[in-house]
Structure 1
Amino acid sequence: MRRRRLHRATFVAAGAYNIIWGCYTVLDPQWFFRLTRLPLSNSPQIFACLGMVLGLYGLLYLEVARRPEHGWLVAAVGLTGKVLGPLGLAWLIVTGVWPIDTVIMIITNDLIWWLPFSLYLRDAWPDFRASWRRPSGHPGLTAEHLDTTR
């Protein structure tokens, strides 16, 4: 895989970041509201749950770092979330629900990862594509099973 060391470092960093961010958010789910001067949440459990989910993503990113040839799908789902999150926040800002100060979360959680995740997905695509064509030694779905044109 091209740039394997870079991709491993990227996903170690993403994994550590997500785990730390997630744990802190579970322990102090009001931190973001205080930082951005939003009213404190009446249901901080929802933000704590977001922290738990992002922390779990961190474990998945560490798995991509461990086996980068097999992490394409996890990284694709991760990048999709990193694109959809800013779109959702943009809507909240445009409609006046949240202030512009809340952009800080999107910069660190999402935007800084777009380029490295995209580069990884491009480099990992051949391995992912080949894994669908290669017999795995056990019965399961392969590209041939899904090919309805035959």
Structure 2
Amino acid sequence: MKITLQLAAIYNLLWGAWVVLFPNHFFEITQMEPINYPVIWQGMGMVIGVYGLGYWWASYNPMRHWPIVVVGFLGKLFGPIGFIINYLQDNIPIEFAYTMITNDFIWWIPFSIIIYKVHKEYKWKLND
């Protein structure tokens, strides 16, 4: 759990810094039209980076700081749902899905395992 959360922390801090410092780079490498207001994309980078700090702190005691993991998991779940809704409404190009591979999908299983372990631990304590 500790290694997973620390890897997630490092990834989020790096991704957030990349988006804040180079807001048009993702759009350039995916050959997408840059957004009109890069500050919105930079705001997204800031939020993702802040999640990184939360994951790092949670890594010291994932059982105690499980709400950070759950909030992160929910973001990794709702982000793709929001993408699908917007893609189906023709509001966003398919190339934007690239962000979900490393921001969301690869973390679903490890975060689910952590949440399962927390649930199992607290369920055990409640049954005492």
> SS of the counterpart of 2:63?
helix
Q: CA RMSD in A?
A: 1.8
CA contact (8 A) 1:21 1:55 kept: yes
* 1:23–1:52 CA contact under 8 A, matched in 2: yes
Could you say what secondary structure the match of 1:20 adopts? helix
Tell me how far apart the structure 2 counterparts of residues 28 and 82 of structure 1 sit (CA, whole Å).
Answer: 23
Q: If the length of structure 2 is used for normalisation, what is the TM-score?
A: 0.89
Question: CA offset at residue 37 of structure 1?
Answer: 2.3
Deviation at 1:55, TM superposition (A): 0.3
Q: Which residue does 2:111 correspond to in 1?
A: 117
State the alpha-carbon separation in 2 of the partners of residues 61 and 128 from structure 1.
20
Select the residue among 5, 22, 30 that pairs with 1:36: 30
For 2:60, which of 66, 71, 78 is the aligned residue? 66
Q: Distance in 2 between matches of 1:42 and 1:100?
A: 18
Change (3 A) 1:42 1:116: same
The equivalent residue for 1:87 is 81
Q: What's the CA shift for 1:92?
A: 2.1
Structure 1: gaps spanning 5 or more residues = 1-6, 133-150
Count of aligned residue pairs for this structure pair: 126
Supply the AA of the counterpart residue of 2:34.
Answer: L
Shift of residue 130 of structure 1?
7.8
My pick for the range that moved more, 8-17 or 37-46, is: 37-46
Alpha-carbon distance, 1:85 to partner:
0.2
Query: Which one has a bigger Cα radius of gyration?
Result: 1
CA distance, structure 1, for counterparts of residue 70 and residue 41 of structure 2: 24
**Which residue is equivalent to 1:144?**
none
Contact 2:83–2:97 (CA under 8 A) maintained in structure 1: yes
The alpha-carbon deviation at position 79 of structure 1 amounts to 0.5
CA-CA distance at 1:66 after TM superposition: 1.1
Shift of residue 105, structure 1, vs aligned partner: 0.3
Any idea what SS the aligned residue of 1:70 has?
Answer: coil
Displacement of 1:126 = 4.3
Q: Percent identity?
A: 35
* Alignment partners' CA distance in 1, 2:70 and 2:39: 28
Give me the TM-score of the superposition, normalised by structure 1.
0.77
The structural deviation recorded for 1:129 is: 6.0
| Residue pair 2:32, 2:95 contacting (<8 A) in 1 also | no
- 1:104 aligns to what? 98
